[in-house]
Amino acid sequence: MKQELENLLEFQKVEAEIGRLNDFLESVSERLNALDARQVSFQEAFEKDATAMDHLKKRYRALESDLQANESRIARSQEKLGAVKTNKEYQAMLKEMEEIKEMNSALEDEMIVCLEQMESFERDLAEKNGALKQLKGQIASEKEAIRREAEDNTKRLREAERLQALLTEDVDKALMADYVQVKRMVKKLAVVPVLQAVCQGCHRKIPPQMFIELQRSDQLKFCPHCDRLIYWDDTFDQ
């Protein structure tokens, strides 16, 4: 019975390794997608700021165009002043020129604000562009590492599955049937040791008589609390 128990424990160990490897391989796509999403998010933030910068530049050019047009209007009005025949017309033109100058003053103030904002955006964009390049390199390295690990774990999985098939032949059929039934119920480890009369699956004490019977034989029993297969190994319970 001792050899059969060892075979079953080895089978369980390999099966757990297969589960771990499968979990990793199933997570590969999710991890790669998360890295892509991280890069896309940063890229979109950078592009949003770049678009805002473009809008500022367009606004500045529009203000500059309006300012130049107003300056031209003032110049033309000044040329016409000498030809004005009445004081009323003269005063009206002066008033119009003064209003245009006030408009230009407001335009110049807004242009100054635009310039300050563009300078700030240029600094931020330069920093974010450098950070984006660094992030792309980092993500490319992480993705390559994940792919290499996936390839390595795929090879390990194939070897573990091969070993599992061999171990299946070494485990007693009735014992394997019990193992499969328990595994279906508990999902995790189906065979666990008992330490100091405590099941290491559910961490509850088993009945004293059952513990004595475990110590006196190599037989496996079912834990009365969690239904796992339990055994006593004096190498762990000293």
Taking the C-alpha atoms of residue 170 and residue 4, their distance in angstroms, rounded to an integer, is: 8
201 in Cβ contact with 228 (< 8 Å): yes
Rounded mean pLDDT for each run of 10 residues along the chain, 238 residues in total: 87 95 96 96 94 95 96 90 86 92 95 94 93 96 97 97 94 93 91 94 95 87 95 74
pLDDT at 1: 63
Q: Residue 88, exposed/middle/buried by CB under 10 A (0-12, 13-18, 19+)?
A: exposed
- Which residues lie across from 29 on neighbouring strands? none
31 in Cβ contact with 180 (< 8 Å): no
Q: How would you label 190-228 residue by residue, b for 16+ Cβ within 10 Å and e otherwise?
A: bbbbbeebebebbeeebeeebbeebeeeeebbebeebeb
List the domain boundaries for the chain. Answer: 2-170, 175-231
pLDDT at 216: 86
Q: Torsion angle of alpha carbons 203, 207, 213, 214, nearest 10°?
A: 0
Q: pTM score > 0.75 for this model? A: no
What residues contact 194, with CB distance under 8 A and at least 6 apart? 200, 206, 211, 214, 230, 231, 232, 237
| 87-170 helix and 2-81 helix, angle to the nearest 10 degrees | 170
pLDDT at 179: 94
How far CA 230 is from CA of 3, 11, 14, 53, 199, in Å, comes to 15, 15, 18, 69, 7
Taking the C-alpha atoms of residue 19 and residue 25, their distance in angstroms, rounded to an integer, is: 10
CATH of region 2-170, choose from 1.10.1040.10, 1.10.287.1490, 3.40.250.10, 3.30.200.20: 1.10.287.1490
